[in-house]
Structure 1
Amino acid sequence: MEYLIRFSQLHETFRSAEIQAIAVIEGVDLRVISYSDESPFCVVRLPSEDAARAIMRRSVLAHAIYEHWGTADTYDELHPIIKRDTAHLWPQYVEPSFKMNIDAYQGSRSSSKKQLALINSFSYLPFKGPIRLSCPDQEFTIFEQWEFDAVPLNLPSPLKVHFGRLIACGVRDLIHTFDLKKRDYISTTSMDSELALVTANIALAAPGKIFYDPFVGTGSFPIACAHFGALGLGSDIDGRSVRGDGGKKSLRGNFQQYGLEKLLGDVFVCDLTNSPVRRARILDGIVCDPPYGVREGLKVLGCKDPESTPWVVEKGRKMYRDPAFVAPKKPYSFMAMLDDILNFATDTLVDNGRISFWMPTANDEEQEIGVPTHPCLAIVVVCTQVFNKWSRRLITYRRLPDAEVDLSALAQQKKMKHEAQTNGINADDLNPFRRHYFRGFKSEQDLTDDAATDKILNTT
């Protein structure tokens, strides 16, 4: 059976990825028949209404799903399609109360007379039940997709029209439930609730699974995963962000705020390169937003110059075992961090477990940072959130079973050293994104031209 999904017109590249991931979680056979990022309407094939409801129980980016009765370029084409393909469905809707809506995307039917005339054009449907605007037994919707700026241009007709019967609504209300403005404890890097929930869906968070965030901060991702039933674990190099004030304003306090404390496994302080997590295939998923190193350079535990820090081991005593010890940090390469994340995922994810992590990049092709790869990981989907001159991607990988891994590629990968610099002098040397960010994402030619212009201005 065909169904029409009405998406929100936000995060367009994430929408299809989310519903397909939910289909995997629910064990539903879903096939996309027609979809475009330019339109909020998606036609899919599902085995039953129960399957459609299962998709909507978790979808954050979908408003609702409808039994698809027809799609056409004009109403003159739509009415014959509905009569031909759905007449066998009509008898079961003759007596129940009903309601008819009009959803005009990028357009408007502001005149009540035009709306009524449009609804009356479907009068051939043999519905005899009472019309109820509140809580009807059945709800039907006429969808119109108009050209952008259709209203000021006074265009006569929409580009596409659809008609369907409401089956179930999505869970967009979760965005408000987990809204950061209502959360007791956040930081400047806390991921907003909508994208945290979408990330959890795409990573296949579900009951009985263990999910881990190695850059946990104030816990946005583990909270989202816990809402969907997964056990959340996390770590961070900065213990202050995890502990907060130790009470209500802390990571644990956030879990308590939502009644999810039973799904908080544990949180601890470490960095990814010095992690106590056992390198065994025990994690069902990894979700994280690694630091971009813009406000300050990336760092990991360690001594930049061991000879200048003899106090780490003082008089034969290992000072790092002292409870009051503050560990030193050294600069860390952004590109090495990406490789380390993938290596960690390879070592700890179960077969077909997913890692979804966010990565920034410049929009300019010459400065764009490529999607990192690993022989043990298959790219599932890359979703992009575009800003002005840069974007951030949500990259999702699947851990391949060992039988599917290209052993020659794996051997080659182990022989290769990091191509990125790992011993740069400053943060810009170690982080190409940071370097481009503070240059305004200008090309080398633009920077040369700017320098020449400044020189001319300074000499006149």
Structure 2
Amino acid sequence: MFHISPFCLVELPSDDAARAVVERSILAHSIYEHWGTADTIDELHAAVKRDTAQLWPDYLETSFKISIDSYRGSRSQKQKVALINSFSYLGFEGPILLSSPDNEFTLFEEWALQPVPEKKQPSPLKVHFGRLIAHSVRDLINKFDLKKRDYISTTSMDSELALVTANIALAGPGKLFFDPFVGTGSFPIACAQFGALVWGSDIDGRSMRGTGGKKSLLGNFQQYGLEQSLGGVFVSDLTNTPMRKARVLDGILCDPPYGVREGLKVLGCRDPEKDLIGSRDPAFIPPKKPYSFTAMLDDILNFATEMLVDNGRLSFWMPTANDEDQEIAVPTHPCLEVVVVCTQVFNKWSRRLITYRRLPDSDVDVSALALRKTQQDQANGRSADDLNPFRRHYFRGFKSEQELSDIVTPDVSQLKV
């Protein structure tokens, strides 16, 4: 049976470095100083005695406790006590404190996953022992849980994914972050939690204004005591932003619309001969026209190259079909380097979290940039499906052209009368 281990061995220069890493981590649980790994408890004891005896004097007089963590397994209280006592050779003389000791040591066990409990293996596959350095901030997932948030919409990003995105984009104190599809503010809230000053815009002002009071984007920031980190939000779409073009942003995070619930829209008139006219009337609703999905991806990349500082990061979510023939390629830009692509797989489609780094101008391929500027969006058509290949495949059930053809024109030789 294929076994997936929940443990990862990493090399770091010091406890402080390890603490700095895990205290920003959402996906990790905690980090330990590694004292030994073996297939059996006896082999583990031998490894700990052989490799860590020089460390023991540092903990002789401090308070401590030893815990048992059995992954996919369980131990009776009597067994746990016996395992803990088997480490008596460490010689720790300080008081044993079950709550807030100076040092906590843990024996980790990896058990095989057995579908039938009666066939449980008599012993774990692996055992590990280590000293706790620090826990992660994974509890932030619960703090920002959408079920507890005062104001959300159908497209509000899950708290864990928003925090992970903010981490990958390197949100932190003294940095400016922006979300051009801000909605109810999931990404800016995550970035603000890590100390960034955040801004946002959205083509639909209702999503930001909410219903007033706590039921608004500002109310969400107030709920978490982060209102001082909100620079401001405004109504705009990406192609008609009032923002001055200047490379001042440290990060851009967004989950752009996929155009499934309704076709993508952008401010403008369907008739190319008509001009987009504004109004000072608060009740004025500007006209919108269909928007190409691929053009939107290009516009996001272009916006990032104009607004990000050197080495600033763009992180956004993009859907794609799982079928290679229908897959949407990761968009590229000469001014942006792909840092990492994370994939969340669903049934017949997935969504990717794509993160880019803004290259310094000296590192940009000038010829490739000039070629890109001469290319125009080749999307044809006026309907939502014409302009959005993902939407088209989505409502076709991600069936291939051959499968669709077979449905429309079945093989009559296989029909029975």
TM bucket (normalised to shorter chain) is over 0.9
Task: Name the amino acid aligned to 2:86.
Answer: S
Mapped pair 1:103 → 2:96: no
Q: CA distance change for structure 1 residues 457 and 238 in 2, over 3 Å: closer, same or farther?
A: farther
- State the match for 1:214 in structure 2: 180
CA contact (8 A) 1:108 1:151 kept: no
- State the match for 1:451 in structure 2: 408
What's the secondary structure of 1:163's corresponding residue? strand
* d(CA) in 1 for partners of 2:221, 2:76: 48
- State the match for 1:169 in structure 2: 135
* d(CA) in 2 for partners of 1:359, 1:406: 25
* d(CA) in 2 for partners of 1:192, 1:450: 37
Mapped pair 1:429 → 2:386: yes
* d(CA) in 1 for partners of 2:261, 2:285: 22
CA contact (8 A) 2:73 2:110 kept: no
- State the match for 1:199 in structure 2: 165
Q: Which runs of 5+ in 2 are unaligned?
A: none
What's the secondary structure of 1:47's corresponding residue? coil
Shift of 1:64: 1.0
Q: CA distance change for structure 1 residues 293 and 143 in 2, over 3 Å: closer, same or farther?
A: same
Mapped pair 1:401 → 2:360: yes
Match of 1:138 among 96, 99, 103: 103
Q: CA distance change for structure 1 residues 452 and 149 in 2, over 3 Å: closer, same or farther?
A: farther
Greater Cα offset, 374-383 or 251-260: 251-260
Mapped pair 1:356 → 2:321: no
CA contact (8 A) 2:278 2:286 kept: no
- State the match for 1:413 in structure 2: 372
Q: CA distance change for structure 1 residues 455 and 287 in 2, over 3 Å: closer, same or farther?
A: farther
CA contact (8 A) 1:212 1:233 kept: yes
Match of 1:185 among 138, 148, 151: 151
- State the match for 1:257 in structure 2: 223
Question: CA offsets, 1:302-326, max 9 Å, x none?
Answer: 111256xx6x68xxxx554554432
* d(CA) in 2 for partners of 1:401, 1:245: 43
What's the secondary structure of 1:42's corresponding residue? coil
Q: CA distance change for structure 1 residues 62 and 237 in 2, over 3 Å: closer, same or farther?
A: same
Mapped pair 1:276 → 2:242: yes
CA contact (8 A) 1:109 1:115 kept: no
Match of 2:398 among 441, 449, 460: 441
Match of 2:77 among 92, 108, 112: 112
Mapped pair 1:125 → 2:70: no
* d(CA) in 1 for partners of 2:64, 2:97: 6
What's the secondary structure of 1:355's corresponding residue? strand
Question: CA offsets, 1:193-248, max 9 Å, x none?
Answer: 11111111110111111100000001111111111111110000001111112322
Greater Cα offset, 341-350 or 247-256: 247-256
* d(CA) in 1 for partners of 2:366, 2:278: 42
Task: Name the amino acid aligned to 2:310.
Answer: D
Aligned 1:54-133 pairs, distance under 5 A: 54-105=20-71, 107-133=72-98
Question: CA offsets, 1:340-379, max 9 Å, x none?
Answer: 1011001100000001101111122222111111111111
CA contact (8 A) 2:34 2:131 kept: yes
Match of 1:293 among 252, 259, 264: 259
What's the secondary structure of 2:9's corresponding residue? strand
CA contact (8 A) 1:376 1:405 kept: yes
* d(CA) in 2 for partners of 1:302, 1:454: 47
* d(CA) in 2 for partners of 1:239, 1:457: 55
Task: Name the amino acid aligned to 1:303.
Answer: C
Q: CA distance change for structure 1 residues 329 and 127 in 2, over 3 Å: closer, same or farther?
A: same
* d(CA) in 2 for partners of 1:321, 1:289: 30
Mapped pair 1:365 → 2:328: no
Q: Which runs of 5+ in 1 are unaligned?
A: 1-36
* d(CA) in 2 for partners of 1:139, 1:324: 61
Aligned 1:220-231 pairs, distance under 5 A: 220-231=186-197
Shift of 1:150: 7.1
Mapped pair 1:380 → 2:339: yes
Question: CA offsets, 1:369-397, max 9 Å, x none?
Answer: 11111111111111111222211111110
What's the secondary structure of 1:411's corresponding residue? helix
* d(CA) in 1 for partners of 2:112, 2:296: 44
* d(CA) in 2 for partners of 1:370, 1:283: 26
Q: CA distance change for structure 1 residues 50 and 79 in 2, over 3 Å: closer, same or farther?
A: same
Mapped pair 1:332 → 2:291: yes
* d(CA) in 2 for partners of 1:231, 1:216: 14
* d(CA) in 2 for partners of 1:122, 1:53: 26
What's the secondary structure of 2:342's corresponding residue? strand
CA contact (8 A) 2:197 2:229 kept: yes
Question: CA offsets, 1:408-440, max 9 Å, x none?
Answer: 221222222234x1x423111111111111122
* d(CA) in 2 for partners of 1:75, 1:236: 57
TM-score, length-normalised on structure 2? 0.93
Q: CA distance change for structure 1 residues 41 and 434 in 2, over 3 Å: closer, same or farther?
A: same
